[in-house]
Amino acid sequence: MNLLTAFTYVLPHRLLSSLARKLAYSRNIAIKQWLIDTVTRKFGVDLSEAAEPDPQAYPSFNAFFTRALKPGVRVLDPDPRALLMPADGRISQCGAIKNGRIFQAKGQSFTAAELLGDDDAAAPFADGLFATVYLSPKDYHRVHMPWTGTLRETVHVPGRLFSVGPDAVRLVPRLFARNERLVCHFDTDFGPMAVVMVGALLVSGVETVWSGVEIPRYGDAVTVKDYRGSGITLERFAEMARFNYGSTVIVLLPHGVATLAPGLAAESSVRLGERLALRN
């Protein structure tokens, strides 16, 4: 384990993320513009795709980071059987869930039950499919629906806030099942679908389109919100949630409902709306 990754074990994760949140929401012109300019320069952010391309027009760094895209710069796969990539980013891993376990990196895995925080909720995904998408600081930070679904419940699972960068994914055991996360369960025409928003170090929040801010407050106990009967249905390709800073979204699908897109593999660069999988 490298020194930086080892050091993250002893960092005050939540304190650092709370401080980062204050900076992200600051409307101090000097602070917000320094943050915007630094991230734009360091990570090569393409503001030509943004609905607001002027970096000085954003009232806060958070507004910049969760910026909307111009209409039409992301298009959905034209095949109506295609399940869609939920975000811009890079595939961390994808493939089959084997005996209930999800591959993280060489020598590292975790169970679907650990990720979802519930054995029963994980059962439909045994031997199903997963895709883990890492959003870097340069990426569009809104997450969209892979398939049309009706929200059944959300589960806020407390945890740590390790970095989700490549080194941490390679070195920290069960990383995605240890970090604070929001599990979103949807009912679809093929059965259940889970979309998991995984928090990370310096990620100041997770927000959903149906409930607003979900993280923080950082939790100390699992919190379940039941949305059965609320009629919250989101169409394929519709926005569902957003992150501050870089993080990770994981999609879980039941066995037999779809086949992953050919050529999709670890390290693949992906864009919102591209084909994730094709219905069988």
Which of 13, 17, 139, 144 is catalytic? The answer is 144
User: How far is it, in rounded angstroms, from Cα 141 to Cα 278?
Assistant: 24
Dist CA 278 CA 79 (whole Å): 9
* 149 in Cβ contact with 253 (< 8 Å): no
Active-site choice (13, 17, 88, 185): 88
Residue 68, CA distances (Å) to 46, 47, 65, 167, 210 in order: 12, 10, 9, 29, 17
Q: How far apart are CA 280 and CA 112, in angstroms?
A: 22
Annotation says 26 is catalytic: no
Question: Which residue in the list 60, 109, 136, 247 is annotated as catalytic?
Answer: 247
Nearest Cα to Cα of residue 194 among 76, 275, 86:
86
> At 20, is the secondary structure helix, strand, or coil?
helix
HSE, side-chain direction, 13 A CA sphere, residue 205: 22
Spatial CA neighbour of 131 closest among 142, 114, 115, 120: 115
Beta strands in 13-113 (DSSP E): 82-84, 89-96, 101-105, 108-111
Q: In whole angstroms, give the CA distance from residue 82 to residue 224.
A: 30
256 φ/ψ sector (left φ>0, alpha ψ -120 to 50, else beta): left
Question: Is 13 labeled as catalytic in the residue annotation?
Answer: no
Buried b (16+ CB within 10 A) or exposed e, 209-242: bbeeebbbebbeeeeebebeeeebebebbeebbb
Active site residues per annotation: 88, 144, 247
